[in-house]
Each structure stands twice: as structure tokens, then as C-alpha cells.
């Protein structure tokens, strides 16, 4: 079975631009979470989506938005890019996305560089 896939692998943008990152979960998984990982730090939670609805949101500005599609794939959109948005963006899928803990499986990530 294919794991979590993300595209693109790498991306270079300039300040003020907008970017869209894509994620396809493991087949059968209905929940997708997005994380930002700055070099040398642990992943920081951005969003969790389940059944196309936002279920959780981390401490990120409104420039960050996401959505989930009927096939459970997801997009993360970041507007008005800042230098500080440069990071590895990780997508993780899980089976249920219920209020109880659910093991998350991570994709390879998208490395975003903002110049």
C-alpha cells in the first residue's frame, strides 16, 4: 500500500507570494493533519481535518488555511509568505481522527524556502 504522499517535494518562493501544498493520505484514512517543522525543532501542529471539516487548529495566523476534499486528500495554503515560513511542511494521516489518540503516519514533507 502507498503511504502518505505530498507534492511538491521542494518549493522556492519569494516574500509576499502564495503557496499551495498537497497531501494524499493512506488509503482508508479519513483524517489529515498538517505540521510545520523548522530546522532543529519538532513539528508544530497547524490543522487537523476529518471528513472535510476542520477539527483542530494550532497557533498559526490566518494566512494559513487548509481544506480537505471528498477523497480525503488535502491542501494547505499559505498567503503573503514571510521569510519565517521557510520550513518543512509535513502532512500526517490517521485512520479515524476521533477525539481519542490515533497514530499518525507522516508523508515525506514539502521543503518550502522563502527568499
Partner 1 sequence: GQNIDQPTEMTATEGAIVQINCTYQTSGFNGLFWYQQHAGEAPTFLSYNVLDGLEEKGRFSSFLSRSKGYSYLLLKELQMKDSASYLCAVYTGGFKTIFGAGTRLFVKA
Residue 41 interacts with partner 1 (CB under 8 A)? yes
Our CB check for partner 1 shows the closer of 20 and 41 to be 41
Binding test (CB under 8 A) with partner 1, winner from 56, 80, 82, 83: 56
Our CB check for partner 1 shows the closer of 3 and 16 to be 3
By CB under 8 A, the count of residues binding partner 1 is: 26
Q: How many CA atoms lie within 13 A of 40 on its CB side?
A: 0
The answer to whether the Cα torsion of 53, 38, 94, 73 is positive or negative is: positive
Residue 107 interacts with partner 1 (CB under 8 A)? yes
Q: What span, in angstroms and rounded, lies between the C-alpha atoms of 60 and 26? A: 26
| Binding positions for partner 1, rule: CB under 8 A | 4, 33, 35, 40-45, 48, 50, 55-56, 58, 90, 97, 99-101, 103-109
Amino acid at each position: 500500500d502507498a503511504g502518505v504522499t505530498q507534492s511538491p517535494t521542494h518549493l522556492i518562493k519569494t516574500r509576499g507570494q502564495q503557496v499551495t501544498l498537497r497531501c494524499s493520505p493512506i488509503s482508508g484514512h479519513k483524517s489529515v493533519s498538517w505540521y510545520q517543522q523548522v530546522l532543529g525543532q519538532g513539528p508544530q501542529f497547524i490543522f487537523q481535518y476529518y471528513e472535510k471539516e476542520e477539527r483542530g487548529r494550532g497557533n498559526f495566523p490566518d494566512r494559513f488555511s487548509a481544506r480537505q476534499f471528498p477523497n480525503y486528500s488535502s491542501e494547505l495554503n499559505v498567503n503573503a509568505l514571510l521569510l519565517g515560513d521557510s520550513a518543512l511542511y509535513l502532512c500526517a494521516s490517521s485512520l479515524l481522527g476521533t477525539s481519542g489518540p490515533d497514530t499518525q503516519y507522516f508523508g515525506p514533507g514539502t521543503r518550502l524556502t522563502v527568499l
